[in-house]
């Protein structure tokens, strides 16, 4: 199952755990932010369009700040733009959940809801970082993500406990996305090494609290908690679903067509 290039990538990852750990944090937010930004101009009503665009901007801002730190940790002169626009699909370390296409509004909200609960808990850990700049990003991002969670969990309640159609769509979205949630709570040697390097994130330790946050809302939304089947994973190692390649080709084309352009 483990191919030689993957093993090679893994060894390299352990050599530079801080860079890898920062990429994981950054890419989750950059990719999800880009996905949510695809709603700009297409929201169901003007106010929701603005809400989604705000959330997208928050996430892209977090991703950008984290990529800058990652570039510094790497020490090869890559800035946030180089990392965002000139890495290929296999270089991205985001969880598979966040690259899934928007689908209908219920899918977008369910994806956001599942991620927000995780992200609030993750930032709560990371804000204790000894890396002063990272701790600052985490403290600011925690406030932003608490608001995102309020927005997405409120919508889950509305959709789940709304009409027969909104309930069915919300349930279908949850059922489709659930298999991607296990990956968020995987721990590996990179995390362990990065904890020593100033990124106090311990994903497996977050799972129980994530579950209680999510289940509490789903119960009130009259939605069924999907059964835990086999989880789909690979994003943290650079193995992605086909959705990411299509998204990156759109996200990166301007920067790649006009390298170094300013405006």
CA distances from 147 to 118, 120, 122, 150, 153 (A): 13, 10, 15, 5, 10
d(CA 155, CA 260): 41
Binding other proteins (rule: CB under 8 A), the pick from 10, 140, 146, 158 is: 158
How many other β-carbons are positioned within 10 Å of the β-carbon of residue 187? Answer: 15
Of the ranges 30-38, 87-95, 144-152, 169-177, which one interacts with other proteins (CB under 8 A)?
Answer: 144-152
List CB contacts of 235: < 8 A, sequence separation 6 or more.
Answer: 92, 93, 94, 95, 96, 99, 183
DSSP per residue over 42-58, as a string? T-SSHHHHHHHHHHHHH
By C-beta, is 42 or 246 nearer to other proteins? 42
CB of 48 to other proteins, least distance (A): 8
Of the ranges 6-14, 91-99, 149-157, 179-187, which one interacts with other proteins (CB under 8 A)?
Answer: 149-157
Binding other proteins (rule: CB under 8 A), the pick from 1, 2, 3, 46 is: 46
Among 124, 130, 156, CA closest to 143: 124
Binding other proteins (rule: CB under 8 A), the pick from 18, 32, 36, 51 is: 51
Contact between 54 and other proteins per CB under 8 A? yes
Contact between 47 and other proteins per CB under 8 A? yes
Contact between 147 and other proteins per CB under 8 A? yes
**Number of shown-chain residues binding other proteins (CB under 8 A):** 12
d(CA 123, CA 58): 14
Contact between 48 and other proteins per CB under 8 A? yes
Of the ranges 44-52, 107-115, 188-196, 213-221, which one interacts with other proteins (CB under 8 A)?
Answer: 44-52
Binding other proteins (rule: CB under 8 A), the pick from 154, 161, 186, 188 is: 154
With vertex at residue 22, the alpha carbon angle to CA 136 and CA 106, rounded to the nearest 5 degrees, is: 90
Q: Which residues would be at the binding site for other proteins (CB under 8 A)?
A: 45-48, 50-51, 54, 147, 150-151, 154, 158
């Amino acid at each position: 199952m483990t191919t030689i290039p993957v093993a090679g990538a893994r060894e390299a990852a352990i050599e530079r755990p801080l860079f890898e750990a920062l990429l994981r944090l950054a890419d989750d937010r950059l990719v999800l932010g880009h996905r949510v930004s695809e709603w700009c101009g297409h929201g169901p009503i003007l106010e929701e369009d603005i809400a989604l665009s705000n959330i997208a901007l928050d996430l892209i801002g977090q991703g950008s700040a984290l990529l800058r730190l990652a570039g510094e940790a790497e020490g090869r002169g890559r800035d946030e733009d180089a990392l965002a626009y000139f890495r290929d699909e296999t270089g991205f370390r985001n969880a598979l959940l966040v690259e899934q296409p928007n689908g209908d509004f219920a899918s977008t909200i369910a994806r956001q809801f599942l991620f927000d609960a995780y992200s609030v808990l993750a930032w709560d850990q990371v804000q204790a970082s000894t890396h002063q700049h990272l701790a600052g990003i985490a403290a600011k991002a925690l406030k932003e993500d608490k608001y995102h969670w309020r927005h997405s969990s409120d919508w889950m309640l509305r959709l789940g406990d709304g009409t027969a159609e909104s309930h069915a769509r919300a349930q279908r979205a949850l059922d489709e996305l659930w298999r991607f949630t296990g990956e968020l709570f995987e721990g590996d040697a990179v995390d362990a090494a990065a904890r020593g390097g100033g990124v106090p994130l311990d994903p497996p330790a977050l799972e129980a609290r994530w579950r209680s946050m999510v289940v509490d809302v789903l119960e009130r939304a009259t939605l069924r908690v999907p059964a835990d089947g086999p989880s789909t994973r690979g994003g943290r190692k650079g193995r992605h679903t086909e959705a990411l390649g299509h998204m990156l080709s759109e996200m990166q084309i301007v920067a790649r067509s006009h390298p170094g352009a300013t405006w």
